Structure formats: structure tokens, C-alpha cells
Chain A
Amino acid sequence: MIGALPLSAIPPEDEALRPEIRAFLRDEVGHIPAERRARSWMGFDAAFSRKLAERGWLGLTFPKEYGGAGRGALARYVLVEELLAAGAPVSAHWIADRQSGPLIQRFGTEAQRRFFLPRICRAEAFFCIGMSEPNTGSDLASVTTRAAREEGGWRLNGEKVWTTNAQHSHYMIALVRTSGTPADRQKGLSQVVVDLHAPGVRISPIRDLAGDAHFSAVVFDDVLLPPDALIGEEGSGWMQVNAELAFERSGPERVLSSAVLLDEWSRWLREAGATEAAEALLGRLLAHLAVLRAMSIGVTGRLMAGESPVVEAALVKDLGTEFEQMIPAVVADILARPGLVASGPLMRSLAYTAAMAPSFSLRGGTREILRGMIARGMGLR
């Protein structure tokens, strides 16, 4: 069975960061239209990321010697939940700050740390993640993109797809096969860092159903990688990828993707007045938010204590994305009354969030895959 989550609080020294962040966001984000803020962690703005970097808010958890602030995961929690609640356009640095940087810090060589981490902290190195391929989705061990070792480095061939921000990023960390065949499954997989400006890399943005082109297909055609492109051990790619995914599954971003819509709706209720049904619905959403937030902080607390609550993280993500998807569904229901016209920004935020909501339980591992992990944690498989 899975261990209960503790009620853990954010310590005062981390809470102390909050007022400054909120003041900054009021000035920098407050004027952005709601429907753009509703893009949450999909909103791209490199200049905004540089402003955060100037404040020392990128790589908050990286050690100081690499340009970070040496803070704990709960300090970052405070920063991230405020960014997301405000609908700040964080996507440019998001993956580097959340996933690629910590991965390099943990598994990279000293030289890789010295090269990449300070650049991430200065918003000079944006990253994307190359896991999925045309024939590899949930079954991640089936990747066929291959890096073949040769004199002077590696030769990379294959294709990645759905790569968020590939067209805007400097680097990709790709999961590739470095030995064996797809029949070897998890064995023989490695992670390599690819300079996306290298010859032989072809990036084609893919338009999504909301009209944005936030992800891409990326083809590697005899791309030559230097010997130090390998991150971590050759053949340890599978283990490393899973360590990476545990960190990305329980953060505030798995609870707050529809936060801007919830905020817009509640503002509108304050102005226009609320029926008892609307009050009850709003209370329901607040109750879910409170419980999910406490669960997510509980998982972060356990990560900080050096545990690896992988199953608990999957559990919080599944419940969190269900909540994120519930918001547009129930808000649409209550606003769909003949004779009622809500504000334009609210309706446009609703339209965007409702359209993209199905993706919340796909990205980073689907609902069914997460539930499979929970079932394993419960001893059912």
C-alpha cells in the first residue's frame, strides 16, 4: 500500500518570497488579457523569462556555484504557484527550469553543469524534451531514434514529435537508443542533449486545436553530436527519464492549469452577483483546490526529505488534472443560461481552456498510465 501524505506547511522563509513575487506579477502580468493568461504554462515570452532571470528567479533550486539561488523545492513551489495563478507566460524557460536543469544537475558531468546551468539561470538556454515519436507514445520504451557511437561523437537519426517549444528552444534532451534494438525495450536507451541549431535538425511546428503552434515535429538527419552530448550513463536513459517524470508530476502545474479561468469567473461573479447554485459550485472548486494543494505540497515535502513518492505523485497528478478539466466543464454549464451574457475575457478564457483541457491528462503520461502506476503501488499488478 501507499503511504499517507503528511500535512506539511510551507516554511516562513519560503513564504517570505511571496509578496515580492506578487508585486512583480501585478506590474508585469496584470495587463495581459485573460485569454492569453489562460494559456498558463503554455504561454511563451522570452523577454518575460529574462525579467525573471534578472530577479534571480530562474534556477531557484540550483546551487549558487552554478548561478542558482540554492533554495529548496518549497521556495520554488511558492514562486511557481504564484506565476501560474497569475497566468504568467512561463513557457520559454519552463522545461529548462523544471526538468532539464535538475536532470543535468543530477546526472550530468561537472563540465555539463558549468556550461548549461548558468545559461538556464540567465534565460539564455531554453530546452525541450524529446521523448515521444510518431510510433512511440505511452509505450516510451519503444523509441527508435538512434544515436550511434562513432569516432568523435555520435550520429543521430530519427524523429521526435509533439515536442513542446522545439521551434523556440536552444537544446533538446532526447531519449534515444544507443545500443540494441527496440526489442530490448528499456535496455540500451540513453539521454543526449542536442543543439537544435546543428546541421541536419529539421523542425516543423504543428498547429494545435486552439490555433497556437506550441509543439513541433523534429527530424534528425545524420546529426553529429559531440562525445559529451551524453547525459548521465550510457544505457541509463530509462531510469533517468523516470526520475525526471516523478518531479514533473506533482507540482502546482498539475492543479492550476485552469486557475486563470477560475479567477476570471469568480471576479465576474463578484461584479454580476451569484446565484446559490453558482456559490455552491464555486465553493466546490475551492474545496478541491485546497485539498489538492495540500496533497501536492505533501508530495513536495516528501521529495525534499529524500524519498521518492512516485506513486503518490501520479495520484496527485491524476486527481489534479481531473480538477483542471472539471473547471471549464462546470463553468460552461453554469454560464449557459438563456439571456445571460458574461464578459468577453471570461468567455474567451473559457473557450481556450475548454478546448485544451483534454491535453491536461495526456501530457507527461496519460491518465490510464498513471492509474496503472497507482494500481501497481496498491499491489494489484
Chain B
Amino acid sequence: MDSLLLRSAEELFSRHASSDAVRAIRAGGSPGALWRELQASGFLDALVPETAGGTGLGLAEALPVLMAAGRFAVPLPVGETMLARAVLAEAGQERPEGTILLGEPFDGGARVPASSAAEWVLLSRNAAPLLRRAEEAQRDDRMASPFGDLLRWPGDAGGDGGPEELHAAGAWAELAAMAGAMERILESTVRHAQERVQFGRPVAAFQAVQQQISVMTEDVFAARMAAQLASVPDGPGIAGLNPLRIAAAKLRVGEAAMRVSAIAHAVHGAMGITEEMDLHLLTGRLQAGRMRFGGEAHWGARLGRHFLRAGDAMDPLAFVRAHLGPMEPETTA
């Protein structure tokens, strides 16, 4: 991973995405200050080719930035805006300032995260990118839930379902943020277990607690590896995204998210259930991420079907080697 980029992303978020700042944005406050910093940093054009005025970085180089946004539970579509800007650049379209969400197409409209601060929603129509202003859409209140709002644009001005490409790109952004959030949850859980004293000892001294945190550690490592595997640019999608890799990674990260959330909450005890503690910002991020752009069953079936129908009838190991193997960033750039 590109540690220089990671360091500057972490630095930016620790300065401008404190718990208070994140909570204020979630409560409907203006994300302006944080967003201006992100724009100034150049991260948002990381995946746009240099010829189009971007930084032209690869997926593996952008991954740490997405993970860092997840670590800080940044309630803004950092990864999605990066991807949307790459799509627009490729189509030779204008890239507006402001936050851009990738819409999950639904019945002529689009599902977006609940009460999101996004200004734009990227859809697709006739296989071309279609950018719509969020404020021009109507929210379907009957369908609203903490997992998402349904937006419809008047006069059938929405997308038409669109290619799998955008869906897969959205899944990549989600899983990267989730992997980052899980790293932070693990740190918080270890710290809490060392500080909270019961029976005269830190609860970390109890073997049952240690074993639970070990399981959690394993899943955090697996989630991070899944995100790295999904960031190998050997596919036909945006910046080389590969839907098979994303299928495997979204599934594995989603599974990890359930176990990691459950153990984190168990170890934090009642304190973890409070609004005051930041834990729910992160575990809530995992819940939401699992529900967006396809969950485990969706992507599992996608992957399993591809494996079974491929003409070459590979054995599982050969398939995994051919499509889901590790490749170092240098050799794939």
C-alpha cells in the first residue's frame, strides 16, 4: 500500500473528520469544510487519468484513502466521488464540484444512503453516464429506511438500470470503507478490553475475551486482504475493476463485518450501546455497507454461477488462481 498517500489521508481525516465533525454532518450539518479539504488534497481525482487532469493513480494506490475514510466513519461518498469522476472523465463529460453518489438503480429511480449529503447522483442511461442533481429528485417516503432513500426524478429523467460496471464500482467503494472501519473497531475493542476492569482485572485478562478478540483479528486481516485482492486492476471496469474480484471481496468483507460487529459490541458491553460512544458510527457503517451494492448471497451466486458456467471447467484452485490471485501492484500497473 502507498503509505505516503495513506499518511496524508489519515492526517486530513484526523484534522477534519473528528468524531464531532462526523456527527455534525450526520445530523444534517454542512460538510463544506471537510469536502473543501478533500477537493484541495487531489484525492477526488486520484483515479482520473493524468491526461484528463487527474492524478492517474491505480486502484491499489487509492485503496488506503478509501480505507482511511472508513476508519473515520466519514459520512461522505469519498470513494464513490472518486469513481464517478473517473467515469465522467472517461466519457469526456464535465466533472462538477461536490459530492457524487453512485445510485443503485431501482424502478426508474435510484436508491441512495439515507439522508445523504450528496449533491449529485450518478446513474446510467443507454450505457452512458448520467449525472442527476439530488435536489431535483423526489424522495419516496414510503420506501425510506435507515438503509436508504429512494429518489425519483420527475418526467422519467432517471437512469435505465445501467451496466454492472457501476454496481461493481459501488461495491468496491463500500467494501474498502468497511475494511477500514473494521481496523478501527479492532483497535477500539482492544483498548476497551485493556481499560475496563471487572473482577479486579482488565477484561482483556479473561481467556474468553482474548479468544473472541483473536477471532475478530482474523476477520479484520481477512477483510483487508479481500480489499487488496479487489484492488488488483485486471478487469474491464472503471480503472480496471474486476467484478469477479469484487464479488469475492464484498462477500468476504460482509461476512467479516457481521462477526466483527458482534464481537466488538459484546466486548464493549453496555457502553457500546450508547449514542455517546463512537462505536456505533463504525458498526452502523458496516451494517449500511453490507446492504449496499449487493450482499453476500448476491455476490456469492454471481461468483458461483460464473465458475460453473465458464467453458473451461476449472477446478476451484485453478479458478481462484486464474481470476482471484494476488498480484503485486508493480506487476499490474
Residues of A within 8 A of B (CB): 1-2, 4-5, 7-10, 81-82, 85, 256, 259, 262-263, 266, 269-270, 274, 276, 278-295, 297-298, 312, 315, 318-319, 368, 370-372, 374-375, 377-381
Contact = CB atoms under 8 A, between A and B. Distances in A.
B205 A381 contact: yes
A315 B327 contact: no
B320 A378 contact: no
Contacts of A381: 204-205, 210
Contact of B304 (A9, A81, A256, A274): A274
Contact of B221 (A4, A262, A281, A297): A4
Given A9-B331, A372-B211, 14 more contacts: A263-B315, A263-B316, A279-B301, A280-B301, A286-B316, A289-B320, A290-B248, A291-B248, A293-B317, A318-B218, A371-B215, A379-B194, A380-B205, A380-B210
Contact of B214 (A10, A289, A378): A378
Contact of A283 (B213, B215, B302, B326): B302
A358 to B, nearest CB: 18
B296 A284 contact: yes
A282 B251 CA distance: 12
A284 B251 contact: yes
A277 to B, nearest CB: 8
B327 A283 contact: no
B128 to A, nearest CB: 30
A184 to B, nearest CB: 25
Nearest to A371: B214
B150 interface: no
15 contacts: A1-B187, A7-B232, A7-B326, A10-B325, A269-B308, A274-B304, A276-B301, A283-B304, A284-B251, A286-B248, A286-B320, A287-B252, A295-B221, A368-B211, A380-B205
Contacts of B299: 283, 287
Contact of A298 (B190, B225, B303): B225
A266 B307 contact: yes
A287 B307 CA distance: 11
A293 B281 CA distance: 32
B319 interface: yes
Interface in B203-219: 204-205, 207, 209-211, 213-215, 217-218
Q: Which of A2, A4, A259, A278 has the most CB of B within 10 A?
A: A4
Given A315-B217, A371-B210, A371-B211, A283 B307 contact: yes
Contact of B316 (A276, A289, A318): A289
Given A286-B324, A375-B210, A378-B213, A281 B229 contact: no
B213 A380 contact: yes
B294 to A, nearest CB: 11
Contacts of B296: 280, 284
Contacts of B71: none
Contacts of A312: 221
Contacts of B317: 81-82, 85, 256, 259, 263, 289, 293
A1 B183 CA distance: 11
A295 B225 contact: yes
A146 B222 CA distance: 42
B323 to A, nearest CB: 8
Given A293-B325, A294-B326, A285 B225 contact: no
Contacts of B272: none
Secondary structure type dominating chain B contacts:
helix
Contacts of B214: 315, 318, 370-372, 374-375, 378
Given A286-B316, A298-B225, A318-B218, A291 B252 contact: yes
A119 B45 CA distance: 60
A286 B317 CA distance: 8
B123 interface: no
Contact of B251 (A283, A298, A377): A283
A291 B256 CA distance: 12
Interface string B308-333: 10000101111111001111110100
Contact of B225 (A5, A9, A262, A318): A5
B142 interface: no
A6 B327 CA distance: 10
Q: Which of A4, A256, A280, A319 has the most CB of B within 10 A?
A: A280
A262 B326 contact: no
B4 interface: no
B193 interface: yes
A282 B307 contact: yes
A139 to B, nearest CB: 15
B179 to A, nearest CB: 11
B222 A280 contact: no
B186 to A, nearest CB: 8
A7 B300 contact: no
B76 interface: no
Q: Which of B194, B215, B218, B304 has the most CB of A within 10 A?
A: B304
